[in-house]
Structure formats: C-alpha cells, structure tokens
C-alpha cells in the first residue's frame, strides 16, 4: 500500500454517511406525508350541523308530485330541526348549567292585556259614538304601551284598520300574530311583542266559540326572551258577552278549551323538568267564574292575587284577566289602569303586571 492510499474502510466511511443521511431524510419525508394525510382527512370530515331553533310555526304541506332524491332530503332535514332542535338545545344548555353549578338568569318583563274597543264600534253608525275614531285611539294605545314599558300585550277587539295603524306607527319594532295572517276574524284577537325584547319561536291559533258558538281563531305564541333565552307561551282570548243572547254556555265551553290548552302547553317534558311558563290573558267577560275555574283547572295564579282553594277573588279585579302557570313565574306590581287617556281609548281598563321567570324553566340560546 502506497503512502497516499487510504485503507478501504476509511474510503467507505463518507459513502456510508451519505446513505445514512439520505435514509434519514426519506424517513422524515414519509412521516411528514403521513401527518399531512391525517390532517387533511380530519379537515375534510364534515362538521356535525349545529342545532338551531326554528321560527317556522307549522310544517309545509307534503307535496303530492314525485321529486328526486335531493329534493326529498331537504324537507326531512328541515323537519328534523323543527321537531328536535329546540328540545335538544334546551337539554344541552340545562346539562351544561348543571355541570357548571349555575342557573340561567331570571327574565323580567311587563305583560299587558287591553280590549282596545274595535274601530267599528266608534265608526259612523257604531254603538259607541262618543269616542274618537279607531286610528286615533290606536295611536293613544301605543303611547300607553310604550310609556308603561310593556313588551308583550294581548289585544282584543283589534280590527283591521287598527292593525294598519299599529304596524305603521311601530314601524316593524313590534311583531303581531295573527294580525291578518288568518283573515279578518283572526286579527280581532292578536298578540303583539317588542321585537327588541322577544323573538318569535312558534305561532298558532285555536278555535274558540264566540257569539252563538261561532268558532273564532285565537292566538297562542311561544316567545324567546332575547337577553336570557328563557321561553314562555302566551295565549290571548276574548270570550263572548251576553249582549247577543245568552252566552253563558259558550263562555263555559270556551273557558274549558282555554284551560286544556294552558295545561297542554305548560306540561313538563319529563319528570325532572319544569314545563314552559304559560300565560292566559284577555277579556273573559266573567269575574268569579273565570277566576275560580282557571286557577283550579290550570293550576294557575292571577297576576292580581287571590287564592284558588278556597276560591277567593283578588280585590282589584274586573272581567279582564292575566293568569300564569305557577312554577317559575312571579307576578308583582299589578296595575288596573282606568280613567284619563284609557277612557278615551276604550270602555275597558288597561291591565298590566311585572313578570319574573326564574327557576329551572326551559330556555334556549
């Protein structure tokens, strides 16, 4: 071996080093590719759809014409959301609050009922000629509702022209149901709410017997209190007076239907859950009969007090009432406003009360 010739092992060392380096780089590359493949797979997996409450009140009719598979899938998903999303969100929120050891914030608001005296009564040929026209009186009624910070009101004898005035003056700041959605008969008994305080979740009507037993659609709506997410049902009714023949029988039938509806709406979904707070308000055209039957039959309380068993009327009462389900509902500061501007608007008082929703009553985000 010459003096400049390296041993064979020494000559192989650089080659082996290069091989080891290349192998290491290949291993790193394979690891990075595997990592990228896993990440891409995870990102490409569709996220589970979020559950949202539907504001639609009733499902669309099922089409009779055949449709392709894609068009059939869409209504199913929409129906699933309507049927399941509200319950699942309520359950999820309740579980989370229980885990955190917290309760949802109470919801406080002012609730009213007002028979505004229909415009036809004060028009030419009407039976209340001493009053201003319906449009002027509706404007004054809005002043009273706003001035007393009412956010939900049941309106009776609320006719088409008064509805037009209400929507024009409030400019979309209030929702109204049914308004004209179910025709001229339905508009006379409507529920209105401040849309800055409440969001409509569901809206329905129930046929209630009025003069001579004629069925009139009367509304009930499920509203969500925007600030707290708490839910409440509101029913607005007008039972017949005995001004067009004896009406006691039809008042009895109407009240029984209203009690049944209130019980259905406030029924708990499970043994461990309170039902949704439910309010029944309106012109009952009865005093003790309405109070005793509703407080006993619907396990309800009147906003102005009294007792159900034995039945004892509150001192400050008339034929206009606000009732609420007992669990989770607190009434305070009941007012029966009569005289002054109220007497220029209607032959009925404006009644309103402060309400607090608390306890473990259902709510949604």
Q: How confident is the model at residue 70 (pLDDT cuts 50, 70, 90)?
A: very low
Would 36 be classed as within a structural domain? no
User: pLDDT above 90 covers what percent of the chain?
Assistant: 64
Split at pLDDT 50, 70, 90, the class of 65 is very low
Which of 146, 129, 246, 236 is closest to 194 using CA atoms?
Answer: 146
CA distances from 67 to 40, 70, 317 (A): 35, 8, 58
Q: Number of structural domains, the chain?
A: 1
Q: How far is CA 213 from CA 157, 252, 282, in A?
A: 18, 11, 18
Tally: H helices and E strands in the chain: 10, 12
Helix (H, G, I), strand (E, B) or coil at 352: strand
Between the CA atoms of 337, 343, 349 and 354, what dihedral angle is there, to the nearest 10 degrees? -30
> Mean of the pLDDT values across residues 71-84?
41
Signed CA dihedral, 194, 154, 164, 215: sign only: positive
Beta-carbon count within 10 A of 255 CB: 22
Rounded Cα distance, 365 and 221, in Å: 18
Q: Is the dihedral of CA 329, 269, 154, 310 positive or negative?
A: negative
CA 84/CA 53 separation, integer angstroms: 9
Flag whether 288 is in a domain.
yes
What are 96's strand-pairing partners?
none
**Torsion sign (Cα): 317, 318, 321, 326:** positive
Provide the angle, in degrees to the nearest 10, between the axes of the packed helices 288-297 and 248-266: 30
pLDDT at 72 over 70: no
Q: What pLDDT sits at residue 234?
A: 98
Residue 103 has pLDDT above 50, yes or no: yes
Of all residues in the chain, what percent carry a pLDDT higher than 70? 70
Residue 222 near residue 233, CB atoms below 8 Å:
yes
Q: State residue 326's pLDDT score.
A: 86
Q: How confident is the model at residue 199 (pLDDT cuts 50, 70, 90)?
A: very high
Answer for the pair 219, 203: CB distance below 8 angstroms, yes or no: yes
3-state secondary structure of 247: coil
Task: Give residue 19's pLDDT.
Answer: 53
Whether the per-residue pLDDT at 300 is higher than 80: the answer is: yes
Contact between 178 and 163 under an 8 Å Cβ cutoff? The reply is: no
| For residues 184-192, average pLDDT | 95
- The pLDDT value recorded for residue 51 is 36
Alpha helices in 231-287, H assignment, sequence order: 248-266
- Which region among 94-98, 194-198, 279-283, 297-301 has the lowest average model confidence (pLDDT)? 94-98
Report the DSSP pairing between strands 174-177 and 320-325: unpaired
Task: Point out which residues pair with 109 in neighbouring strands.
Answer: 355
- Per the listing, tokens 């509806």 go with 261
Q: How confident is the model at residue 99 (pLDDT cuts 50, 70, 90)?
A: low
- What is the extent of the structural domain holding 128? 108-357
Pairing relationship of beta strands 152-156 and 107-115 according to DSSP bridges = parallel
Mean pLDDT of 292-319: 96
pTM: 0.74
User: From CA 169, how far away is CA 175, in angstroms rounded?
Assistant: 12
Give the C-alpha separation, 160 to 35, whole Å. Answer: 67
- Confidence at 45, pLDDT banded by 50, 70, 90: very low
- With a cut of 90, say whether residue 219 has pLDDT above it: yes
Q: What is the CATH number of the domain that holds 349?
A: 3.60.10.10
Q: Which residues contact 218 (CB under 8 A, 6 or more apart)?
A: 189, 205, 206, 207, 208, 235, 236, 237, 238
User: What pLDDT, in 10s, does the model give residues 314-336?
Assistant: 999 999 999 999 888 999 999 99
Q: Which of 23-32, 58-67, 346-355 comes out lowest in average pLDDT?
A: 58-67
- Asked if the structure places residue 160 within a domain, the reply is yes
Give pLDDT, residue 363.
75
Confidence of residue 78 (pLDDT cuts 50, 70, 90): very low
């Amino acid at each position: 071996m010459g003096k400049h010739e390296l041993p064979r092992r020494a000559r192989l060392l650089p080659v082996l080093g290069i091989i080891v380096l290349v192998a290491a780089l290949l291993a790193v590359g394979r690891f990075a590719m595997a990592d990228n493949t896993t990440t891409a797979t995870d990102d490409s997996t569709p996220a589970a759809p979020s559950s949202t409450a539907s504001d639609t009140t009733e499902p669309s009719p099922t089409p009779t014409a055949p449709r392709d598979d894609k068009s059939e899938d869409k209504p199913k998903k929409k129906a699933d959301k309507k049927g399941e999303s509200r319950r699942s969100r309520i359950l999820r929120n309740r579980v989370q609050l229980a885990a955190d050891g917290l309760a949802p914030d109470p919801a406080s608001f002012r609730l009213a009922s007002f028979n505004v005296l229909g415009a036809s009564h004060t028009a030419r040929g009407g039976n209340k000629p001493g009053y201003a026209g319906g449009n002027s009186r509706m404007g004054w009624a809005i002043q009273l509702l706003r001035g007393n910070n009412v956010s939900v009101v049941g309106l009776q004898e609320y006719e088409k022209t008064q509805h037009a005035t209400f929507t024009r003056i409030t400019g979309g700041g209030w929702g109204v149901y049914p308004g004209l959605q179910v025709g001229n008969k339905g508009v006379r008994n409507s529920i209105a709410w401040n849309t800055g305080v409440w969001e409509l979740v569901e809206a329905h009507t129930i046929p209630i017997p009025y003069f001579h037993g004629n069925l009139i659609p009367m509304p009930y709506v499920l509203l969500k209190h925007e600030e707290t997410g708490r839910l409440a049902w509101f029913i607005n009714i007008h039972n017949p007076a005995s001004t067009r023949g004896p009406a006691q029988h039809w008042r009895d039938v109407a009240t029984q239907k209203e009690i049944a509806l209130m019980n259905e709406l406030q029924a708990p979904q499970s043994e461990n859950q309170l039902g949704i707070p439910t309010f029944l308000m309106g012109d009952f055209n009865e005093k003790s009969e309405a109070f005793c039957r509703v407080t006993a039959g619907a396990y309800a309380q009147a906003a102005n007090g009294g007792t159900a068993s034995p039945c004892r009327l509150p001192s400050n009462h008339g034929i206009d009432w606000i009732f609420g389900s007992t669990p989770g509902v607190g009434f305070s500061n009941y007012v029966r406003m009569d005289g002054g501007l109220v007497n220029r608007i209607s032959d009925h008082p404006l009644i309103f009360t402060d309400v607090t929703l608390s306890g473990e009553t259902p709510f949604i985000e």
